[in-house]
Amino acid sequence: MLVLSIETSCDETAAAVVRDGRTILSSVVSSQVLIHAEYGGVVPEIASRKHLEMISPVISQALRDAGIVMADIEGVAVTRGPGLSGALLVGFSAAKAIAAARKVPFVGVHHIEGHLLAAFLEQPLEFPFLALVVSGGHTHLYHVEGIGRYTTLGRTIDDAAGEAYDKSAKIMGMAYPGGALIDKLSLSGNPAAVALPRPLMHDGTLRFSFSGLKTAVLQHVAKHPLTVPSQELNDLCASFQQAVCDVLAFKTEAALKQTGARRLVVAGGVACNSGLRRRMAQLCDKMQINLSIPAPSLCGDNAAMLAVPGDYYLSNGLASPDSLDVTATWDMDSIKELLP
């Protein structure tokens, strides 16, 4: 099946054409990051307006890059949630309109479901597996038994890992979103230079907490004002990155032991992080676990990832009804209740 997929949940307008939920024919991502950087975070109203401006050109580009025309599309997959309602509505309305005009089915997909299945665009994977999803809004461990069959094992009780990266970067004087820059600077820093907490690491659960780590960075910067650039900044970045990776690796190891899973998928924007990729590779090497972390272009927000579940649902008669609406919040565990 030739699926057109569309993503507008936050600050990226994206469209892709994917064959059989596995082969990417095109993937176009138009980022608004520079626009929101000026405000230190995503401004929902601006995001919606920018999506409105970019949605048609991005879809046209995706069709052109794939060497096809709209009439070739056999189904449409689109992010239904979670995300900013106004932003979601732009992609969702476009998807519905295309599906109605072309008389093809459409399906509303969970954004995180796209992230955790993006690895299928690179290689076939076997179920079940453990998934660690780390993004701007999520830090979740899922037991994945099949497409649509997700059980949350643990999640953050406050900030997500990406949120902690971006908020800490802001405290250190970096532009939004600073996650990738902390990663880059940490390569030249000493991870043992600043003593930072590992919140909830030894609480015996699979819960995460990152807001205390951000507060510790704030307190450190208040006591030791930073010069930019400086070795002190690099050291603080490296120490922060080490703390985040310690917690993520520790809890992932605990979840692997608890579930007995033999495969691990790490996904979401923070999965681009060089320290996390290295730590997960070491962990999986030690535990003889099969590890999949998609290439960075498939970890960040993109539309191709939505076509993996999208193609599955459309091919199995699970298209969405015309009346379906977007949703700002959506529990992944509830998806299995919709399956036959």
Q: How far apart are CA 328 and CA 147, in angstroms?
A: 21
Query: According to the binding rule CB under 5 A, does residue 135 interact with Zn ion?
Result: yes
Q: Segment contacting Zn ion (CB under 5 A): 62-70, 133-141, 197-205, 281-289?
A: 133-141
Beta strand residue intervals within 173-303, DSSP E: 263-267, 290-292
Give min distance, CB of 330 to ligand KG4, in A. 13
Task: Please state the length of the chain.
Answer: 340
Nearer to ligand KG4, 148 or 300 (CB): 300
User: Which residue's CB comes closest to ligand KG4?
Assistant: 269
**Binding test (CB under 6 A) with ligand KG4, winner from 21, 81, 177, 294:** 177
Task: Please report where in the chains the tokens 């691990």 appear, as a residue.
Answer: 264
**Binding test (CB under 6 A) with ligand KG4, winner from 217, 301, 308, 312:** 301
Q: How far apart are CA 307 and CA 76, in angstroms?
A: 8
Beta bridge partners of 289: none
Give min distance, CB of 304 to ligand KG4, in A. 13
Residue 124: asked if its preceding bond is cis (omega within 30°), the reply is no
Query: According to the binding rule CB under 6 A, does residue 234 interact with ligand KG4?
Result: no
Residue 41's nearest CA partner among 136, 117, 114, 112 is: 136
Query: According to the binding rule CB under 5 A, does residue 301 interact with Zn ion?
Result: yes
Query: According to the binding rule CB under 6 A, does residue 191 interact with ligand KG4?
Result: no
Residue 305's nearest CA partner among 2, 9, 12, 22 is: 22
**Binding test (CB under 6 A) with ligand KG4, winner from 81, 105, 179, 189:** 179
Give min distance, CB of 116 to ligand KG4, in A. 11
Beta bridge partners of 30: 13
Query: According to the binding rule CB under 6 A, does residue 119 interact with ligand KG4?
Result: no
Compute the half-sphere exposure of residue 48: CA atoms within 13 Å on the CB side of its CA: 12
Site residue total, ligand KG4 (CB under 6 A) = 18
Number of C-beta neighbours around residue 202 at 10 A: 7
Nearer to Zn ion, 2 or 55 (CB): 55
Query: According to the binding rule CB under 6 A, does residue 270 interact with ligand KG4?
Result: yes
Beta bridge partners of 290: 263
Give min distance, CB of 284 to ligand KG4, in A. 19
Nearer to ligand KG4, 218 or 318 (CB): 218
Binding-site partner at residue 92 among Zn ion, ligand KG4, none, CB < 5 to 8 Å by type: none
For residue 168, give the DSSP letter.
Answer: H
Q: What sign does the CA torsion over 213, 214, 219, 225 have?
A: positive
19's enclosing H/E stretch is: strand 12-19
Query: According to the binding rule CB under 6 A, does residue 166 interact with ligand KG4?
Result: yes
Query: According to the binding rule CB under 6 A, does residue 180 interact with ligand KG4?
Result: yes
In the complex, which residues of this chain contact Zn ion (CB under 5 A)? 135, 301
- Residues in contact with ligand KG4 by CB under 6 A are 10, 135-137, 162, 165-166, 177, 179-180, 183, 268-270, 272-273, 300-301
